[in-house]
Amino acid sequence: MIEKIFAPQLLGLTALERESVHERLDRTVGNPAAKAAIDMALWDILGRAAGMPVSGLLGGYSDRMRVSHMVGFAPAAEMVAEAERIRDTYGITTFKVKVGRQPYTEDVTACRALREALGPDVDLYIDGNRGWTASDAVRALREMADLGLTFAEELCPADDVLGRRWLVAQSPVLFIADESATRAAEVTRELLGGSATAISIKTARTGFIASQRVLHECEGLGVEVVMGNQIDGGIGTLCSVAFGAAHGGAGAVPDPDGRLVRQADRGRGLARLAPGSPAPQVLGARPPTDHHPAVLQGRQPCRRRHRLRREARADPRPGSGCGRQRPRGHVRLRPRQGVIDRALRRTHGRRHSARPRPGGPRGPGGP
């Protein structure tokens, strides 16, 4: 797609003519992953030419963001074991739990088992990948009302328009649109139509500049966003962190004045942009390893709320330690200039495969 269709249209433009590049790309409908790869490669070129990190050019809010691990379909006991292993190995304490099975009670059972095993200090964020009906979803949310869920994502199809609106209106947690809102216009339709109350942004499909457009629209509308990851490889994950860390509001981002470093020190799962470290590598893991979580999820609430939330979180919880341990659960990513454009095509090609990465999470086959 890039070689045959897009590249010939872009010859002669420079990385400083990004908007013209996109105008030409947009003559062809669809192909968001190829367009995203080109956009991020342009930013990589800019960063290399300027000798500056792309995350700084994008906004430079922080060098780290909180991550989650995706727990795919399995018997409840296996899901619990996986989550415990990830928590103990990487310090990650946010879990995106795949739901949407039939009967829905199987997922309710799994979520309850996770909460009981992991305790109150982890975030459980359910993602249905459109697997339930609206009716199933409403019943499931009611039965999980005591589990303290963080978010719910795409529990039923967005094309079940009125059912989805009915579900969203009574959801006790923010309802995230992901695959139903991949462009700014879709974001507008889903939000104004009552089909979502939060948005998932994935750089693999909107690159940096269209992701920024969606983020800015959501900020203006007062809508929270999360950064998603659709089984990207290492470079794709790096792009997600570069974007998320640039823009503020990622769940556990330290303020430059250090207020939140304590949270990192408490071992919450964070992805870190750290020039010079191998990309990507988990630091603080036992044993040291170059495995990285394939699902990376940082909250990006709107700024006002975020500030309040961060301040609340900065208070050390009783029993959570003195905040002096060695940081654990950080993913340090080396934003090595020049690697992105060489690797993007491979990464994004891989994205289309529903086959999970070896050693990666077991999802229900969707992003």
Binding-site ranges for its own copies (CB under 8 A) = 12-14, 16-20, 23, 26, 46, 49-53, 56-57, 59-62, 184-185, 187-188, 209, 212-217, 219-222, 246-248, 255-256, 303, 307
Is 230 an annotated catalytic residue?
yes
Catalytic residue among 44, 123, 154, 202: 202
DSSP string, 209-247: HHHHHHHHHHHHHT-EEEE---S--HHHHHHHHHHHHHS
Catalytic residue among 136, 178, 186, 224: 178
3-state SS class at 281: strand
Name which of 41, 6, 39 is nearest 24 in CA terms. Answer: 6
Is 153 an annotated catalytic residue?
yes
Catalytic residue among 63, 107, 153, 190: 153
Give how far the C-alpha of residue 106 lies from the chain's centroid of Cα atoms, to the nearest Å: 25
Is 35 an annotated catalytic residue?
no
Residue position matching structure tokens 């948005």: 199
Is 96 an annotated catalytic residue?
no
CB of 16 to its own copies, least distance (A): 3
DSSP string, 85-132: HHHHHH---EEEEE---SSTHHHHHHHHHHHHHH-TTSEEEEE-TT-S
Closer residue to its own copies in complex, CB, 20/105: 20
CB of 293 to its own copies, least distance (A): 24
For CA atoms 165, 170, 174, 176, the dihedral sign is negative
Closer residue to its own copies in complex, CB, 22/139: 22
CB of 183 to its own copies, least distance (A): 9
**Two structure tokens written together for 311:** 């301040």
Closer residue to its own copies in complex, CB, 39/82: 39
Is 127 an annotated catalytic residue?
yes
Is 170 an annotated catalytic residue?
no
CB of 29 to its own copies, least distance (A): 12
List active site positions. 98, 127, 153, 178, 202, 230
